[in-house]
């Protein structure tokens, strides 16, 4: 009875609470292409530090967006992957990616670029 109810002003704020912050969308974006290990993510996101990566992975795990898979091996092996629920973010993440591609092409023409073949371009 009378459980505390949090009220958001718009649903956009809800989404931001889950994927807000500097790194979460980037991490999740990479995971939409499949399972990734700690070190893989560090290399895919060169400017992130181990501390920030771990911190955000834990928060995403707590939200039920991703899950850790721990293999009992030596040396240790851990993989991160989207949960079934986490996959519901794929469309949104890819839309963010496509908008960014458009923005670079249109506004930063020649003065900014996107590394490697991480462009979605015509992909779904």
- What is the contact surface with its own copies in residues (CB under 8 A)? 3-16, 18, 20, 22, 25-26, 29-30, 44-47, 64, 85, 88-89, 91-93, 95-104, 106-108, 110-116, 118-120
User: CA 105, 109, 110, 111 torsion: positive or negative?
Assistant: negative
Strands across the sheet containing 36-37: 36-37, 77-82, 66-71
Residue 60 binds which entry of DNA, its own copies, none, CB below 5-8 Å type-dependent: none
Helix (H) or strand (E) holding 46, with range, is none
- Options 27, 48, 65, 66; binder of DNA; rule CB under 7 A: 48
Q: Which is nearer to DNA, 35 or 103 (CB)?
A: 35
Q: For the CB of residue 9, give the shortest distance to DNA in the complex, in Å.
A: 13
Dihedrals phi, psi of 73, to nearest 5 degrees = -135, 165
Contact segment (CB under 7 A) with DNA among 11-19, 32-40, 83-91, 93-101 equals 32-40
Residue 75 binds which entry of DNA, its own copies, none, CB below 5-8 Å type-dependent: DNA
Q: For residue 97, count CB atoms less than 10 angstroms from its CB and return exposed for 0-12, middle for 13-18, buried for 19 or more.
A: buried
């Amino acid at each position: 009875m009378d459980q505390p109810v949090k009220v958001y002003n718009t649903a956009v704020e809800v989404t931001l609470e889950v994927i807000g912050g500097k790194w979460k969308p980037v991490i999740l974006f990479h995971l939409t292409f499949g399972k990734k290990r700690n070190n893989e993510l560090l290399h895919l996101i060169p400017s992130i530090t181990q501390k920030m990566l771990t911190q955000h992975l834990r928060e995403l795990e707590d939200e039920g967006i991703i899950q850790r898979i721990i293999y009992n091996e030596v040396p240790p092996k851990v993989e991160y992957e989207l949960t079934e629920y986490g996959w519901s973010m794929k469309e949104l993440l890819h839309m963010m990616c496509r908008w960014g591609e458009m923005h670079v092409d249109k506004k930063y023409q020649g003065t900014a670029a996107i590394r490697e073949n991480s462009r979605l371009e015509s992909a779904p």
